[in-house]
Amino acid sequence: MFENNMAMYSRYLTELTLAFHIIFATIGVGVPLMIALAHWIGLRKKDPHFLLLARRWSRGFVITVAVGVVTGTAIGLQLSLLWPNFMELAGQVIALPLFMETFAFFFEAIFLGIYLYTWNRFKNPYYHFGLLIPVIIGSSMSAVFITIVNAFMNAPQGFELKNGVITNIQPLVAMFNPATPTKVAHVLSSAYMTSAFVLASIAAFHLLKGSKHVYHKKAFHLTMIAALIFSVTTALVGDLSGKYLGKYQPEKLAAAEWHFETDDKAPLVLFGVLNEEQEVKNALKIPYALSILVGAKPSAEVIGLNEYPEDERPPLYVHYLFDLMVTIGIFLAGLAFLYAALIQWKQKFAYNKWFLRLSVISGGLALIAIEIGWIFAEVGRQPWILRGYMKTIEGATTSAHVDILLAAFGFLYAALGAGSIIILRKMFKTNTAEAELKELGL
């Protein structure tokens, strides 16, 4: 009982750290790309508005990077501190991508430092822009490698486990497991999408407040068009992820869809609630849709949850998470599409108050979808920490005091979160874009 308690607290603490970290990690992956876009357009078109945009974004980015780095260091160490048994096992098979991740992180850290502190130091401005390329490569590749580690936990392969002894290890096979392609693609595209919406929210906020400056309109346009492209990509990859689940991790998809009996012509269950007899009530059922999602034809067989022993099933509440993630994703894609349509045909409605209000909340919604999506992905593979090989409880630490640490880290993250908000607000409130433009003589 005592040990199980610590396993539970270890889960809470890992959840807390990751939930806090991914906000900054997502921004850390996506925003450099957006900065590069603005910087590139600014240089090509010789447009000082876009150059200022890149500069202001990167200033704010420093704050998020700092918090991302410290929370990333925290989760990196906590993996060994809270899950020593898991890391001992996984370390032998999956150390390679973890190691590569630190190289990518190193690469990013070096060039981000240079980029931030060398504005106006190079005679040829393209040299300075060029520094962003390793930053983007570094940040995106570290997302790729760390996601590979996570994919391995979902679809472990590349080793043999006999009586607790690991043999026949193939690091590359472990890295390129069936979960890797869809996971990596989904993480990257959703990070780019979320960052675009977060930056769009800021521009929309200024437009909503009544600023008619072309600077904000340019920012809004760039971010919304980027958001449209990335949300379409995310949706497409999401579909592929569904197919992956159907084939390799059917219990996760079955829990997400409350699909109990193995069946062909399976319907997609939207919303609804589950009563105590495990009957689905008030749900919207789209006939054949789940079969089509999984097997690309209405008659495809979809494995049901009842095929799995009860102690190997994920909790059923993941259905709500899955639905919410997809709903937000579709809503956001629709919003970006609407913007593109409005700007093409009915420009004045693109700055309509209600449309701007929805755009202001889009960044927050995208971040919520990221959180929910990760919780779904992680809780959906419970009770396993290494699917099919190691239960979560077996991986946890046997030390006491995890509960105290949970509280301590809770305080820490609260302080870091509050600090980031205060600083970011202060940075941009005292030094508005308009004031800075005036200073530049524009």
Partner 1 sequence: MSLELLGITVLWIFLFGYVIVASIDFGAGFFSMYSDISGRKDMIHTIIQRYLSPVWEITNVFLVFFFVGIVGFFPKTAFYYGTALLIPGSISIILLAIRGSYYAFGTYGMKNNRILTFLYGMTGVFIPASLSTVLIISEGGFISVKGKHVKLHLLELLTSPFAWSVVLLAIVSVLFISASFLTWYSSKANDYKAGALLRKYTLAWSLPSVLSALVVVLSMKTHNPEHFENMIQYSWMLILSILFFFIAVFFFYRKKHYGAAFLSVVLQYALAFFAYGTSHYPYLLYPYLTVQAGFTNETMAKSLVIVFILGLLLLVPSFLLVLKLFVFDKNYIQGK
Q: Which of 174, 224 has the CB closer to partner 1? A: 174
- Least distance (Å) between residue 315 CB and partner 1: 27
- Least distance (Å) between residue 412 CB and partner 1: 5
Cα dist from 154 to 22, 229, 295, whole Å:
19, 28, 20
- Least distance (Å) between residue 387 CB and partner 1: 19
63-74 exposure pattern, b = at least 16 Cβ within 10 A, e = fewer: bbbebbbebbeb
Task: Tell me the CB-side half-sphere exposure of residue 145, using CA atoms within 13 A.
Answer: 18
Q: Which of 111, 351 has the CB closer to partner 1? A: 111
Q: Where are the beta strands (DSSP E) in 248-296?
A: 268-270, 273-274, 280-281, 284-286
Q: Which of 303, 402 has the CB closer to partner 1? A: 402
Q: Which of 352, 399 has the CB closer to partner 1? A: 399
Other Cβ atoms less than 10 A from the Cβ of 18: the count is 18
Of 70, 23, 100, the closest CA to residue 364 belongs to 23
264 φψ region: left (φ > 0), alpha (ψ -120 to 50), beta (else) = beta
- Least distance (Å) between residue 191 CB and partner 1: 19
- Least distance (Å) between residue 242 CB and partner 1: 32
As a whole number of angstroms, the distance between CA 439 and CA 426 comes to 19
- Least distance (Å) between residue 67 CB and partner 1: 6
Q: Which of 106, 317 has the CB closer to partner 1? A: 106
Q: Which of 262, 420 has the CB closer to partner 1? A: 420
- Least distance (Å) between residue 102 CB and partner 1: 5
Residue where the block lists tokens 């979809």? 302
CA 237 to chain centre: 13
314: three-class secondary structure by DSSP = coil
Q: Which of 158, 298 has the CB closer to partner 1? A: 158
